[in-house]
Amino acid sequence: MDKPIIAAKEPAVVTLEPGTYHWCQCGRSKTQPFCDGSHAGTVFSPVEFSMTEKKQVALCQCKQTQTPPFCDGTHKTL
């Protein structure tokens, strides 16, 4: 089974406007933490999520979270 690439061992803390986003699940994207299509040819696909209000969030970049796309602190154990 393919494993994602660890893009960073810290979350990306970003303020997102209301809308739909695509979180990179494979770790290959050059626009972390968002998908840029680099998963093509892998078993991975982006995780679509929506924000209903402007909010600051911590998005996982280690790709090991149990609460995708949000950081759950797993990076601290890597």
Residue 25 lies in domain: 12-77
**Could you tell me the pTM of the whole model?**
0.94
Residue 1 pLDDT grade (very low, low, confident, very high; cuts 50, 70, 90): low
How many domains does the chain divide into? 1
Residue 20, domain member (yes or no): yes
Residue 5, domain member (yes or no): no
Residue 1, domain member (yes or no): no
Residue among 49, 17, 43 nearest 28 (CA)? 43
pLDDT digits (tens, 9 = 90+) for 30-47: 999 999 999 999 999 999
Residue among 3, 1, 4, 2 nearest 61 (CA)? 4
* 7 neighbors 62 (Cβ within 8 angstroms): yes
